[in-house]
Amino acid sequence: MEFFDRDSEIAYMKRILEQYPRRIIFVYGPINSGKTALIVELLNRLDKEKFLPFYFNLREFQLSKYEDFVDLFFMVKNGFKGLLESLKLHSTPSVTFAGIVTIKIPISKEDFSLIRSSNRPEDAFSYIKAYFVHLVSHGLRPILVLDELQMMRGVKYNGLLLDQLFNFFVSLTKETHLAHVVAVTSDCLFIEHVYGVARLEGRVEYIKIDDLDKDRARELYENLELPKGRFEFVWGYLGGKINDYLALEMEYRAGMEIDVALERMLRDEMNRLLYLLMQFSYKEVRYVDEDGSEYRIEEERVKETLKFFVEKEEGDVIDFDFATLRYLIKENILFFDPVEGIVRPQSRLVHRAIKDLKLDGGQI
Ligand SMILES: Nc1ncnc2c1ncn2[C@@H]1O[C@H](COP(=O)(O)OP(=O)(O)OP(=O)(O)O)[C@@H](O)[C@H]1O
Ligand SMILES: [Mg+2]
């Protein structure tokens, strides 16, 4: 389908991007809420005379060490003599993703080898900075977008690379106001971790891209090829998750009744939960936190935590057992909002599956 609505979110983000870069922007929200689709749409709608976005979807890259970052950010241009030629060459596409042209930072072969072999992140950062200064002096505002930020988990460089990278981003935003840096992820445990290791207090801005509210979900429903007059029924299963409406439409167009399709989707979620609980019967379940500390997870506590959501839509993070909650967040059962300090099921479908499991007896 065509890109749906999100006008208010796009307008809001545009207003932020039109200002001087001041803070690293974290775009977060539950899984499959449409963060990537929104960012790609936003970048495509920006004035090309004023902005130069560098969009990296980290799912497409293997990132663990310094060289990986150099390979990620830079693109060797044959015949590229140095920064001064960059404006002529910057528009050469290197990768395309979801219709957006991703461009990398152009560099000559010689400079690339020097930077890659130096193994000093400062060298790469200085080069990028100089390039950005150059763009800004020509009236172009660079925007560095790192989508699926959680793929940086596991980055090691004397344990410091992640820290250094984010401090470079602080320098690009808060200190020099050269470039916008936008980090996108649904993994809020990782955001919290990065925030801690790179000491980002007062240096970040959070933008939540949530599932649709009921009015917008109704509008989406009416835009899709789905039977008339059934929105309320479907909302009861899918809430505002765009991705789930698209999945339903696909089944419907393939000839399946929506009642059957919805029950199957719900069944899938229930099976995912049952599988999770079943593991406890044959192995020790452990949760490893971002800082490496390990916790043993107990079935009863998992059930207790899930039970809370039978009656409630959301809960306060501090009211739950630390490790159990984080385990369920990690497993994408629960969504953690680091700004509001609340947790809730990742989707209406998951919420419904939790209720239908009948944790008080019956099924399990
Ligand atoms: N506004 C929209 N209009 C049309 N399709 C959309 C919209 N938002 C999301 N989608 C579709 O829904 C699906 C999920 O969206 P997307 O991948 O952008 O979610 P996400 O929040 O980035 O997910 P993740 O948490 O895995 O990163 C995609 O197939 C996408 O094309
Ligand atoms: Mg995404």
Nearest CA to ligand 1 atom 10: 34
pLDDT in tens, 223-261: 999 999 999 999 999 999 999 999 999 999 999 999 999
168 pLDDT more than 90: yes
Give, to the nearest 10 degrees, the angle between helix 231-238 and helix 242-253.
120
Q: What is the CATH number of the domain that holds 356?
A: 1.10.10.10
**Which domain, by its residues, includes 246?**
213-256
How far away, in angstroms, is 152 Cα from ligand 1 center? Answer: 21
Name the token pair of 33.
């809420």
pLDDT, the chain, mean = 89
> Which pLDDT does position 290 carry in this prediction?
87
Binning pLDDT at 50, 70 and 90, where does residue 95 land? very low
Query: Domain boundary at 256, 289, 319, which?
Result: 256
Q: In the predicted model, is pLDDT for residue 91 greater than 70? A: no
Q: Tens digit of pLDDT for each residue in 3-40?
A: 898 999 999 999 999 999 999 999 999 999 999 999 99
| Residues 248 and 281 both lie in one domain | no
Atom of ligand 1 nearest to the CA of 30: 25
Residue 350 lies in a domain: yes
Q: Which residue has the tokens 């008080």?
A: 360
The pair phi, psi for residue 326, each rounded to 5°, is -65, -35
Name the residue with higher pLDDT: 79 or 1. 1
Reply yes or no on whether the pLDDT at 119 is more than 60: yes
Q: Are residues 73 and 198 in the same domain?
A: yes
Quick check: 89 pLDDT over 80? no
- Between the CA of 244 and the centroid of ligand 2 the distance, in Å, is 15
What residues contact residue 137 under an 8 Å CB cut-off, 6+ apart? none
Instruction: Using a pLDDT cut of 90, give the percent of the chain over it.
Output: 70
Q: Are residues 334 and 234 in the same domain?
A: no
Ligand 1 atom showing the smallest separation from residue 31 Cα: 25
Kindly report which listed range (80-94, 127-141, 216-230) carries the lowest average pLDDT score.
Answer: 80-94
DSSP letters along 9-50, please?
HHHHHHHHHTSPP-SEEEEE-STTSSHHHHHHHHHHHS-TTT
- The token pair that represents 27 in the structure block: 């775009």
pLDDT band per the 50, 70, 90 thresholds, residue 88: very low
Distance from the alpha carbon of residue 342 to the mean position of ligand 2, in angstroms:
21
- Domain assignment present for residue 86? The answer is yes
What's the number of domains the chain is made of? Answer: 3
Q: Are residues 304 and 317 in the same domain?
A: yes
Give the pLDDT band of residue 292 (cuts 50, 70, 90): confident
Q: Of 1-15, 80-94, 120-134, 257-271, where does the model show the most confidence?
A: 257-271
Beta carbons of 17 and 174 less than 8 angstroms apart: no
Residue 273 burial (CB count, 10 A): 21
Reported confidence tier of residue 97, pLDDT bands at 50, 70, 90: very low
Most confident among 76-85, 94-103, 317-326 (mean pLDDT): 317-326
Question: Which of 189, 208, 227 delimits the end of a domain?
Answer: 208
Write out the two tokens for 143: 């925007």
322: helix, coil or strand? helix
pLDDT for 162 equals 85
Same domain, 127 and 168: yes
31-49 burial by CB neighbour count: b if 16+ within 10 A, else e?
bbbbbbbbbbbbbeebeee
Residues 85, 192 within the same domain? yes
Domain boundary among 221, 256, 291: 256
Pocket test for ligand 1, best of 41, 243, 244 (most atoms within 8 A of CB): 243
Residue 156 in any domain: the answer is: yes
pLDDT, average across residues 259-279 = 97
Nearest-atom number in ligand 1 for the CA of 39 is 18
Co-location of 197 and 234 in the same domain: no
Are 130 and 175 part of one and the same domain? yes
Is 51 in the same domain as 157?
A: yes
Q: Could you tell me which of 265, 246, 252 has the C-alpha nearest to residue 348?
A: 265
Question: Mean per-residue pLDDT for 313-331?
Answer: 96
Output phi, psi for 248, to 5 deg. -65, -45
Q: Quote the tokens at residue 105.
A: 């930072």
Which CATH number characterizes residue 100's domain?
Answer: 3.40.50.300
Q: What is the DSSP letter of 72?
A: H
What is the CB < 6 Å shell around ligand 1? 1, 3-4, 6, 31-37, 148, 186, 242-243, 246
Let me know if residue 264 belongs to a domain: no
The yes-or-no verdict on residue 147 having pLDDT over 90 is yes
Tokens for 66, please give them: 């310094």
What average pLDDT does range 338-346 have in this prediction? 96
| Euclidean distance between the first and the last CA atom of the chain, given in angstroms as a whole number | 40
Q: What local confidence, expressed as pLDDT, does residue 334 receive?
A: 97
Rounded Cα distance between 303 and 13, Å, is 39
Q: Using CA positions, which residue lies closest to atom 15 of ligand 1?
A: 34
Asked whether residue 1 is assigned to any structural domain, the reply reads: no
Residues 180 and 244 in one domain: no
**pLDDT surpasses 80 at 96:** no
Ligand 1 atom nearest to 4, measured from its CA = 3
Asked whether residue 2 is assigned to any structural domain, the reply reads: no
Q: Same domain for 246 and 334? A: no
Given a cut of 80, whether residue 80 has pLDDT beyond it is no
| Ligand 1 center from residue 255 Cα (angstroms) | 24
Q: Label residue 313 exposed, middle or buried (CB < 10 Å: 0-12, 13-18, 19+).
A: exposed
Q: Are residues 335 and 243 in the same domain?
A: no
Residue nearest to atom 9 of ligand 1 (CA): 34
Residue with tokens 């950005």: 132
Query: Under a CB-based contact definition with an 8 Å cutoff, are residues 352 and 237 in contact?
Result: yes
261 within domain boundaries = no
Confidence category of residue 324, pLDDT binned at 50, 70, 90: very high
Ligand 1 centroid to Cα of residue 37, in Å, is 5
In angstroms, the CA 44 to CA 14 distance is 12
154, burial (CB in 10 Å: exposed 0-12, middle 13-18, buried 19+): exposed
Ligand 1 atom at shortest distance from the alpha carbon of 5: 1
pLDDT band at 216 (very low <50, low <70, confident <90, very high): very high
Which ligand neighbours the alpha carbon of 147 most closely? 2
